[in-house]
Structure 1
């Protein structure tokens, strides 16, 4: 079948795919661009098929939107969180406004991607649809598009088994049941358990004993006074993180390179963890205690099992009042309509919901192409990358000594990658990719191939804003408007990132490109590459202590065009990251802040 010729293909119609398509058209308005998605509707993880009434984003209203396209204030909770149907409407309206709906081809699964001579791409769909060839490919399938659906030995078991992504299409059936079994400890499991308990169902919740444990949950607000996500989106909070992308400046030097700063860092996170623990009430019951993140007292910092926010109203109140039993084991078999567990327990159930997470969707790429695209390690280069990552780990230890020891025993990555699916052992794509800036394959870029990039694979809270900045950086790279460094420099950057995220987020950082707390430093990094101002507020106090919102980044495309214009005119302008006097003021404020915390803890 003859292939259809287009200029650019964007894979995915979620947050990252839509903004990538819009950004490409901003620079190439006449381009023949199409979007491809295997979902039945636009929205990616937030498409209408996945939505159910108690599904809320973990980011507050005003934070979960593109910088230039405000979201309607509909259905917002008292704590400021956004329901799924509001997000779905927002994405559909965005696609309509920017003429992306017409360009979208839904219910279309890519079976194979081939790299063509001359740096083009061919996409085959394996059905009656004609293949597509394109000059540019933006692969923005995202981190939650490819569900992991494990299987166990089964006989005489006719109870429905679904993945959490299917919950929205099974609401009528779930309404009729009395008892359900939920498998997994990710944030999707918390959402599913809440849905069932809130409807008065009995729940058996199974979380693997030797895994990463349940996700760490932040409260929706701090003592009901300030929204938690607002606090997380301040530069002062980011200073207390441990980002490899923020290892310069006086705040970093004080917190991470002095004895007093390291002590204050520990106190800060102990307080943060205590606030989350107190809100959750882990000590109220043996069931709740099984959800406490590890290590105890520091689980919120490490986010070993993932990080979430109890954004749905009354989450913990419903949990503590509900009929739920948490089992720290795993299924052994499904026999005679009974779920048999490895600890010997046997559970009767009416429904099984697998909240077993997601794999990276690299299926359309064959092994050789995965290697070329930085998605998989070249077996001939294992020694080189081992040396790079060993050296990188030492760099991380020096720059961020708080990450040297977590005290958490970790499973071997290879055992985490092996999963039984449809009765067969299969390898998941868990493990580090080796992309420069989490988007570009170093080898292709070093060859001058600017025909592909991979936005949206990094796990973070602020998906719309990060996606918007990634789209600008990636499209500008594609169109030759900014350059990348040499191959050795790109590989070293990828190695340092992988070593850092593995130390910073433990299990999650070893499985994924995980940067859940680090959106500000990551955005700063990309904007600096483009020559765009990183400090978005003129008031130094507001810049450090007040929340950053997407609206503060409005106009970055125009700013980038101005940078390009100055380059053509032979002018250059350094990105201002602060003035000496301002830094002195901020350090004084920082010390006062630490002193307040320490006095509050020990001065009583």
Structure 2
């Protein structure tokens, strides 16, 4: 492992920023394909894992996945000795240890420069071999700085990298932390006997986790959800009842028939266009689709227990699951969470916070919440975690822009064209709920396949990829497919020929606008967001790689009745792609290789 910034080599072929699930997977994939590539991973934490690094985990934190989906296909969690049982829950500590073991098993740890931030990344056209220059600074000492160059830059900092705070954050002078730092900073609140009452702001999974921890620490909690916000998030059981059967929710979302309810522009070519046409473009099909999501939502609410207590009814999501993306979470608390909040006297408040004073939060109904501490469960920023220069290239790279800038406004005609196409293909999108825009000061990501800068796609000078700009419910599986796709993309080995830069930008805009209308309760198109749309997305990546997408066998029958897709269905995908690449390189009999 590089000891300091000063001990680094001056140039690497590939630099990966981020040592979480995606960054580790990308490094392993790249090295599996080309062991000789010079590679560096940069991360600002002191251990691997990103969201699951040691600093960010805490007792009571569990992954949304059970064993079987939170693991790499070539490194089974049951073999990693982290205390997880078959189909068992995965604690934050187990997840962190698993990722550390994964990094050690594939000899990645020594490639990681820990406790280091990328201050900026600058692109130059002068030398393709040194396309990017990264300014680095040590987290522990601002005096320790350095610069390295690379041929290809892979950004694997996730959507939970940069905390978002409300405007009034600086006004409250008592202890306050964001849930991004709950693992490292919460003991100062949980263990302080002088802190009795704590406000939690937000309705997502991190808010639920914080409330659970505070209850167990004996604190009184004011849980505040914005009146104009999206309310509580969907919290479901891992094994909901479906008629007389108990089914694994994660697996259910990876069945082919359920993917038909996910209307998306990237589903074309999966072989089931006829089903989607009926469900999304006919009156009868749209009626069935609306009722499917309504019934699914009703069942989730009833089985979770959120509607059994009068106060916790405020946590019921405001819209059906039809209008959410990958934000749904799992109830992994070992007891009835909502009954616990009722018994603990958690005060759930639905109101907007208009201001804050040194010792109080001021609500729009006139209430003053004078608590001893505040937990901000307010989510994360959508933009890149470090500046990409020069600024003039950001628009063509698909990076979020200032919404008032001329560069952002130039996309208006593309967006109008995309909306017309989407509403014609998926009429139901017109009827979606309208909620205030998240981060209105910032435009969306516009990336080809949610990964690639549009201006680089039609060229052979591909030196930049963003790997974490699509949210799915199967982050580890997604990491494997995105990592392989990104290698093939960066080295111009995809099995697809993109159009012009304008055509690529239009497709990226189309996908972004789809997210705006399809996920108004999710990321609103600011970044990729899938729920029932994830399996078609994986299919598309496989088609781009020239690999088969129907992997169950038995043709249509296997796809419809062969059960859900699991990691085992994709095991060995890197070797499969490498074998296809080799076979394509071997000339057919009678041909001459030039």
Preserved contact between residue 197 and residue 323 of structure 1 (Cα < 8 Å)? no
Summarize deviations over 1:204-237 as a string: whole Å, max 9, x none: 0111111222222233221382222221121122
Q: Which residue of 2 aligns with 1:211?
A: 229
1:392 is aligned to 2:418: yes
Work out whether residues 446 and 505 of structure 2, in 8 Å CA contact, stay in contact via their aligned partners in 1: yes
Kept in 1, the 8 Å contact 2:9–2:148? The answer is yes
- More off after superposition, 284-293 vs 200-209: 284-293
Kindly report which structure 2 residues correspond to 1:105-116, keeping only aligned pairs within 5 A, or say none. 105-116=113-124
Q: Are the equivalent residues in 2 in contact too, given 1:162–1:353 (CA < 8 A)?
A: yes
Following superposition of structure 1 onto structure 2, how do residues 218-367 of structure 1 map, counting pairs within 5 Å? 218-223=236-241, 225-247=246-268, 248-295=272-319, 299-303=320-324, 306-314=327-335, 315-359=337-381, 360-366=383-389, 367=391
Q: Deviations over 1:383-436 (max 9, x none)?
A: 652222212212222222232202x2322x3xx426xxxxxxxx5x4x321111
Listed one character per residue, the Cα deviations across residues 519-563 of structure 1 (whole Å, up to 9, x for unaligned) are 211110000011101112114555334121112101111221222
Indicate which of 181, 186, 200 corresponds to 1:166.
181
Query: What per-residue deviation string (whole Å, max 9, x for no partner) do you get for residues 258-300 of structure 1?
Result: 33332222222121011111123444344222212123xxx22
> Once the 2 structures are TM-superposed, how far is the Cα of residue 341 of structure 1 from its aligned partner?
2.2
Paired with 1:329 and 1:316, the residues of 2 have a C-alpha distance of 20
Note closer, same or farther for the CA distance 1:390–1:77 as it changes in structure 2 (3 Å cut). Answer: farther
2:154 is matched with which residue? 138
Superposed displacement of residue 76, structure 1: 4.8
1:501 aligns with 2:515: yes
- Contact map agreement 2:472 2:531 (CA 8 A) in 1: yes
8 Å CA contact retained: 1:201, 1:323: no
Normalising by structure 1, report the TM-score. Answer: 0.86
2:326 touches 2:473 (CA, 8 Å); kept in 1?
no
Q: After superposition, what is the alpha-carbon deviation per residue over 1:101-146, rounded to whole angstroms, capped at 9, x for unaligned?
A: 0000011011111112223101002442321111111111111111
Moved more, 245-254 or 456-465: 245-254
Q: Distance in 1 between matches of 2:307 and 2:64?
A: 24
| Cα distance change of structure 1 residues 542 and 187 upon mapping to structure 2, 3 Å threshold | farther
Q: Flag the 1:405–1:370 CA change in 2: closer, same or farther, 3 A.
A: same
Q: Secondary structure at the match of 2:299?
A: helix
**Gap regions ≥5 residues in structure 1:** 419-426, 573-604
Higher mean alpha-carbon deviation, 230-239 vs 85-94, is at 230-239
Asked whether 1:488 is paired with 2:482, we answer no
Structure showing the higher helix proportion among its residues: 1
* Gap change, CA 1:561 and 1:79, over 3 Å in 2: closer
Task: Measure, in 1, the Cα distance between the counterparts of 2:153 and 2:36.
Answer: 16
1:409 to 407, 430, 434: 434
- 1:502: how far off? 0.9
Instruction: Specify whether residues 557 and 283 from structure 1 end up closer, same or farther in structure 2 by C-alpha distance, changes over 3 A only.
Output: closer
TM-score w.r.t. the length of structure 2 is 0.87
Residues 1:571 and 1:530: Cα distance change in structure 2 (over 3 Å): farther
Alignment of 1:37-76 (within 5 A): 37-72=43-78, 74=82, 76=84
Please, which of 219, 222, 230 is the counterpart of residue 201 of structure 1? 219
What is the aligned partner in structure 2 of residue 454 from structure 1? 466
Distance of 1:317 and 1:279 partners within structure 2: 13
- List structure 1 runs of 4+ shifted beyond 4 angstroms: 73-79, 377-384, 539-542
The alignment partner of 2:117 has SS state of coil
Q: Which moved more, 1:7-16 or 1:562-571?
A: 562-571
Residues 216 and 305 in structure 1, CA contact (< 8 A), matched pair in contact too: no
CA contact 1:4–1:130 (8 Å) conserved in 2:
no
CA RMSD in angstroms comes to 2.6
Task: Give the match's secondary structure for 1:49.
Answer: helix
- Structure 2: distance between partners of 1:38 and 1:150: 24
CA contact (8 A) 1:180 1:350 kept: yes
The total of aligned residue pairs comes to: 554
- Partners of 1:451 and 1:512 in 2: CA distance: 21
In structure 2, C-alpha distance between the alignment counterparts of 1:80 and 1:64, rounded to whole Å:
11
The answer on whether the counterparts of 2:262 and 2:531 sit within 8 Å (CA) in structure 1 is: no
- Is 1:121 the counterpart of 2:132 in the alignment? yes
**SS of 2:97's equivalent?**
helix
**Among candidates 183, 186, 209, match of residue 201 of structure 2:** 183
Aligned to 1:472: 484
Alpha-carbon distance between aligned partners in 2 of 1:30 and 1:382, rounded to the nearest angstrom: 41
Name the stretch that deviates more: 337-346 or 458-467: 337-346
Structure 1 pair 79–5 and aligned structure 2 pair: CA distance change class (3 A): closer
Q: Does structure 1 residue 524 correspond to structure 2 residue 539?
A: yes
Residue correspondence of structure 1 range 558-577 to structure 2 within 5 A: 558-569=575-586
Q: Deviations over 1:473-527 (max 9, x none)?
A: 1111111212541223312211210121111101422333222332211110000
Aligned twin of 1:588: none
Q: Equivalent residue for 2:98? A: 90
For structure 2, the residue ranges without an aligned partner over 5 or more in a row are 1-5, 138-142, 590-594
CA contact (8 A) 1:215 1:303 kept: no
Q: Which of 11, 17, 20 is matched with 2:23 structurally?
A: 17
Matched residues in 2 for 1:232 and 1:114: separation? 40
Change (3 A) 1:548 1:30: same
Contact 1:14 1:43 (8 Å CA) reproduced: yes
